[in-house]
Structure 1
């Protein structure tokens, strides 16, 4: 029958160094009771006391006692002294006032600690699950503590519990004191000193184990990561956490770092592959501990069979050693904790594809993140494997290969292996093969290893619903994703989607590039796309962009008419982002511009024509704000989609916007063709709003050709149509453009009167929008033309400042241009230059 005074049956409450497991048999006690110095022992072959015989004799002194002298569960033989044998040879400790031993056996102290912990938890209103989550301690370990089964958790665990419970310094000290009563104090240091003195240096050197695998071949670069690893392994009992995605080279980094300093920790280097992301199954903690203890010289028959016992023995043996312990490929924090050494001079390095925040909380682990290689380092890795001559002969192709592999060392090594087996292949031909996205993952697999296999092992460790979200993310057409888009893809709500995104980020399958925005590595995206997903996934995310874009239009241009009716089979998202004001809509457009453009391309490729042109039309405020950004190709795609969709209403709207963009690009002859067609389509459909809109843009094209009278006539016709349908907003827009043409013709009085009338038509005068800014600019120009210098400058400055605050750089540039004609103020010139610089990168 076995007994164990070791507390913490769960991995969350790991026993402290010096706690021991033992058996009631003599052999068990000999194996597991710490030997105390000072006991006589049998002689070695040369007549002197050998170290092992000395330790065995120290045990036999204790075994001369009666059965009552045997250690009880919870007691610590290490507290005894060899001077008092009146009660069986081993003293139980100092006598208290009553003459009884003052040393606790751990049972009552364990109950006292557990009762105190439970009381604090209940008073804090926390369940065991909640406290477990906050403290980074497993629920099982927490339950064992409260029941008194764990009599003295380690200090770092107690600190984590105190912080999670919100205790002040005094409360934390009291909790630590209660825990300390259950921790036996070993005499390990004295024993180690005696053994070191008795054992020759050659024997000590021979006893230093080295379980590290060989250093990686072809390792290159990583200077920053190596330096970070060195910094993270300084200090008292450091635990360093090396994390990164599958195939990024975490193990290679750690082994290269460890082998750089052969002397390293002088008492040995231990290594275990925990196979947390392996298809071959994980070793148990006991199996790893058996290997470590055997390497440290413990006979196999004397290694405890229980996890707690083996962990306690390992920590005690490590207490006075300088060891490097590498725990590779860890699944989670719970797998690591029983394997941590107990010595203050031991260094532990853990690698994982997960972030393991629990280990940071409970053991103050210091994270070192390993990312993909930069292209130059990627080509250097190819050169290490293939030879510099072959890589230097095709530098452009080598760089292209590094980029196609996304800087992932695993992918680069697979490519190098393929090329090494085909010496007649050029690097360029390999790059051409990899350029085919449908074949890339297959080409990056060799036998049972490769990118796909590594990602599969990472994904299978995650819950099924998280893996399902991951598969749907692969259908996202853009480069970045937020929780609303993820929810639409997976057919869930944003809260559930965000939780899955965070778990995928912790597994390094996603990267959070900005708060609330995530991105996938190219190879990870290809893998996600190879997985099964709902057939309507693309349609759902496209409808998400239509719904969100419609909301953004309403916030950016209050009062604007809806651009279109929704598709007949529209799939409404579970939740749509709300925009509180115009600035929020502007920020969304800026962040999502690339995604919206890619969504249009994806819809067009999938022949979802009704979605293609609608997404483009939700972007019209962005097109207006940044009219010089080359929108014509996107609008032509939308135009083709409206015709394929046989939607004349949509065709007229797209033609109108396209004609306006072409006019702004000084491509007026092309613009006139589209604008006349737009006006005809709208009139034929009886769509007065669309016809008025087309007439306004037609007037712009006419004005650019110098036909200012024709332009004014078109604007007046547009204003009449607006008044006929009672659309004050369209009437204001028509009048604004009429005032513009009058000002360009030098009719200052008419321009001033018309602009003032248009401003009076504003339904929300407190709101700044594009027509408002342009009307203020026209008024300022008219006032200057009438010789009212101060009033004109004031009006133009107001227009520029409102445009700047609204992010309407084109409008700011127009107002500042007019202002510079009246004033050579350096501040105005600086504002003009700033607005121009903001527009220039997209011209």
Structure 2
């Protein structure tokens, strides 16, 4: 069964192109009208600060004073940076505590959050353009209106912040928290401009070239604060929380690093009969074993190793295999697939790991690791056979690929068409794709790196409809390029053609029309080489759409006329109808209005004959809203 016509994507009321998928590949485009859905916002999106946050009172007050919009100071931004190279020192926790306190005081009309993934193992840092896209969507901006180019997008972002503030009853500004930056290039375009808005950035570097920023170094805790953190996690009901000298020894062997302290405290919580003094001795032994490492790494590794040693074999196996996950987090279902466990058993082990502070639990059955712990989990993969690790990797990649393919079918299914039972409907499929996209994108690159070339081709192609629908054209360009290059090197000509067609759709989306035209032309040539007239027709239809958006109407007329003929030859009434309807728009563009009316009328009849009510309505709509004023 061919799946040819997706539901209209959300967005503004305008003529645009929508990728059309058949047989697993995005292979064609049509032009359609669609109407806006209500905006979805995430104006108060800061994660909750971790429990037991303590020992940072002075820094917290200093940062609150810096971001306080009531002081009249209008700094460009505030940067929180740790001592160079220091992970696990609590930068994110501090930033989230500042955000929570600011919200409690009612300073801002919105608190936005974006993870720049500057030091996430195996992940590409989020560039400024993608970060702006995330923030604009959080603001509820119509995705149709988000400019593709960085400078224009940054200006639009500043305007959106100003507009949100203007709509607020008290004209309060906005707080933006950009976590885990690796370079100033990620941050500079996020500067919010005047109006009292504040940008709070966490980074392992000091970002010296970020002009106008106030820099605050976050060091390890003081010995007293470290003991207080251990005692707070143990709780007042635990008699060990009062054994200050023993806890001080534990803190010393943790290097006063908050992440190491939290994991050590979790060891004590999970072992009620474990004396802090004994734990300190064990940490000292581990530290001496790792003395070849530098001080910071030795401290962290000693704590991590000791914590993993106290896991059951099953828990240790799951911890290590979680290092295979290429994305920033993982759902319980995916973790079960990865580890080969039943969902209930996997959830129980994940909860155990969260109790040991080796994993962080999030709402909705999702789990994440600190980047230092991810590195450590991958180190422990060496204790497992390569066959076991690769089998786990393949299970996870297959899982992501299968669900993405099922979701794509839901996005394109007409009423009454059979769809996989994986999702309850289009909204469910969209929600899953939106949530999982960072993992799916990372999985595609991981598949290519691990030699799973079939997935490195199929997964990006199946993501094409979703990315086009969500207007995430930068990501669609990157993933289509990955699929194209992988397909080319492995001799998958049809898949390469599909990737070229996706790439053309994305390039047109960022208004790089000449490149889009070249991409669609290449797709057509490749399909001709394979003798696939059906997909060739769709590539020509895509070419016509690129010409149409470039306002090269004469060439669009030629392309759509050719596409119509090819669809007639293959007996595909619905795609013929789509090409005919688009031809009407092109004819209107060259002011051949009478012909355009006739063509749209023909398209309506063809859609009716094919039983496509949505297409029939689209053709009727085109009679009144074509670019040349048809009707």
What's the TM-score, normalizing by structure 2?
0.52
Match of 1:712 among 553, 557, 563: 557
Supply the distance in 1 between the matched residues of 2:376 and 2:563 (Cα, whole angstroms).
Answer: 54
Is 1:335 paired with 2:272? yes
Supply the distance in 1 between the matched residues of 2:378 and 2:229 (Cα, whole angstroms).
Answer: 36
User: Where does residue 547 of structure 1 map in the other structure?
Assistant: 402
Supply the distance in 2 between the matched residues of 1:697 and 1:492 (Cα, whole angstroms).
Answer: 44
Question: For residues 142-541 of structure 1, what are the structure 2 equivalents within 5 Å?
Answer: 221=59, 253=225, 255-256=227-228, 270-271=242-243, 331-332=268-269, 335=272, 442-443=293-294, 450-532=299-381, 533=384, 534-536=388-390, 537-541=392-396
Q: 1:676 to 1:255 in 2, by over 3 A?
A: closer
Supply the distance in 1 between the matched residues of 2:571 and 2:612 (Cα, whole angstroms).
Answer: 17
Supply the distance in 2 between the matched residues of 1:638 and 1:783 (Cα, whole angstroms).
Answer: 34
Question: For residues 740-779 of structure 1, what are the structure 2 equivalents within 5 Å?
Answer: 740-746=585-591, 747=593, 748-750=596-598, 752-757=600-605, 759-760=607-608, 763=611, 765=613, 775=619, 777-779=621-623
Q: 1:779 to 1:442 in 2, by over 3 A?
A: farther
Q: 1:506 to 1:467 in 2, by over 3 A?
A: same
Is 1:615 paired with 2:459? yes
Aligned-pair distance for 1:453? 1.7
Supply the distance in 2 between the matched residues of 1:545 and 1:722 (Cα, whole angstroms).
Answer: 33
Supply the distance in 1 between the matched residues of 2:628 and 2:519 (Cα, whole angstroms).
Answer: 36
Aligned-pair distance for 1:773? 8.3
Q: What do residues 100-127 of structure 1 show as CA deviations (whole Å, max 9, x unaligned)?
A: xxxxxxxxxxxxxxxxxxxxxxxxxxxx
Question: For residues 57-206 of structure 1, what are the structure 2 equivalents within 5 Å?
Answer: none
Paired residue secondary structure (1:479)? coil
Match of 2:436 among 592, 595, 600: 592
Supply the distance in 2 between the matched residues of 1:252 and 1:733 (Cα, whole angstroms).
Answer: 71
Supply the distance in 1 between the matched residues of 2:435 and 2:272 (Cα, whole angstroms).
Answer: 40
Paired residue secondary structure (1:512)? strand
User: Where does residue 193 of structure 2 map in the other structure?
Assistant: none
Larger-gyration structure (1/2): 1
Paired residue secondary structure (1:509)? coil
User: Where does residue 166 of structure 1 map in the other structure?
Assistant: none
Match of 1:683 among 525, 528, 550: 528
Count, aligned residues = 382
Q: Which has the higher strand share?
A: 2
Aligned-pair distance for 1:651? 0.8
User: Where does residue 316 of structure 1 map in the other structure?
Assistant: none
- Asked if the contact 2:267/2:307 (under 8 Å) is kept, the reply is no
Paired residue secondary structure (2:367)? strand
User: Where does residue 449 of structure 2 map in the other structure?
Assistant: 605
Supply the distance in 2 between the matched residues of 1:269 and 1:468 (Cα, whole angstroms).
Answer: 31
Q: What do residues 451-497 of structure 1 show as CA deviations (whole Å, max 9, x unaligned)?
A: 12212222233322122111111111110111232123223333332
User: Where does residue 89 of structure 1 map in the other structure?
Assistant: none
User: Where does residue 673 of structure 1 map in the other structure?
Assistant: 518
Paired residue secondary structure (2:243)? strand
Q: What do residues 426-453 of structure 1 show as CA deviations (whole Å, max 9, x unaligned)?
A: xxxxxxxxxxxxx9x954656xx51122
Gaps of 5+ in 1: 1-215, 229-246, 279-326, 340-349, 354-409, 415-438, 561-575, 788-843
User: Where does residue 730 of structure 1 map in the other structure?
Assistant: 575
Q: What do residues 547-585 of structure 1 show as CA deviations (whole Å, max 9, x unaligned)?
A: 11111111111169xxxxxxxxxxxxxxx9911101111
- Asked if the contact 1:662/1:668 (under 8 Å) is kept, the reply is yes
Q: 1:777 to 1:217 in 2, by over 3 A?
A: closer
User: Where does residue 202 of structure 2 map in the other structure?
Assistant: none
Match of 1:558 among 410, 413, 425: 413
- Asked if the contact 1:479/1:595 (under 8 Å) is kept, the reply is yes
Is 1:635 paired with 2:490? no
Aligned-pair distance for 1:704? 4.5
Aligned-pair distance for 1:786? 5.7
Q: 1:257 to 1:506 in 2, by over 3 A?
A: closer
Match of 1:647 among 492, 508, 514: 492
Paired residue secondary structure (2:361)? strand
User: Where does residue 70 of structure 1 map in the other structure?
Assistant: none
Supply the distance in 2 between the matched residues of 1:600 and 1:772 (Cα, whole angstroms).
Answer: 37
RMSD, aligned α-carbons:
4.7
Supply the distance in 1 between the matched residues of 2:514 and 2:323 (Cα, whole angstroms).
Answer: 43
Q: 1:772 to 1:443 in 2, by over 3 A?
A: farther
- Asked if the contact 2:227/2:244 (under 8 Å) is kept, the reply is no
Paired residue secondary structure (1:515)? coil
Aligned-pair distance for 1:252? 5.0
- Asked if the contact 1:330/1:336 (under 8 Å) is kept, the reply is no
Match of 1:580 among 421, 424, 440: 424
- Asked if the contact 1:273/1:328 (under 8 Å) is kept, the reply is no
- Asked if the contact 2:407/2:423 (under 8 Å) is kept, the reply is yes
Q: What do residues 274-294 of structure 1 show as CA deviations (whole Å, max 9, x unaligned)?
A: 99x99xxxxxxxxxxxxxxxx
Supply the distance in 2 between the matched residues of 1:475 and 1:693 (Cα, whole angstroms).
Answer: 38
Q: What do residues 674-708 of structure 1 show as CA deviations (whole Å, max 9, x unaligned)?
A: 22221122122121221111110111233345543
Q: What do residues 362-394 of structure 1 show as CA deviations (whole Å, max 9, x unaligned)?
A: xxxxxxxxxxxxxxxxxxxxxxxxxxxxxxxxx
- Asked if the contact 2:573/2:607 (under 8 Å) is kept, the reply is no
Supply the distance in 1 between the matched residues of 2:600 and 2:575 (Cα, whole angstroms).
Answer: 19
- Asked if the contact 1:472/1:528 (under 8 Å) is kept, the reply is yes
Supply the distance in 2 between the matched residues of 1:649 and 1:637 (Cα, whole angstroms).
Answer: 15
Supply the distance in 1 between the matched residues of 2:623 and 2:353 (Cα, whole angstroms).
Answer: 55
User: Where does residue 175 of structure 2 map in the other structure?
Assistant: none
User: Where does residue 164 of structure 2 map in the other structure?
Assistant: none
What's the TM-score, normalizing by structure 1?
0.40
Q: 1:269 to 1:645 in 2, by over 3 A?
A: closer
Q: What do residues 702-734 of structure 1 show as CA deviations (whole Å, max 9, x unaligned)?
A: 334554344234323323433443444433432
User: Where does residue 108 of structure 2 map in the other structure?
Assistant: none
- Asked if the contact 1:718/1:734 (under 8 Å) is kept, the reply is yes
Q: 1:450 to 1:738 in 2, by over 3 A?
A: same
Q: 1:603 to 1:495 in 2, by over 3 A?
A: same
Aligned-pair distance for 1:518? 1.4
- Asked if the contact 2:527/2:533 (under 8 Å) is kept, the reply is yes
Paired residue secondary structure (1:531)? helix
Aligned-pair distance for 1:502? 1.9
Aligned-pair distance for 1:499? 2.4
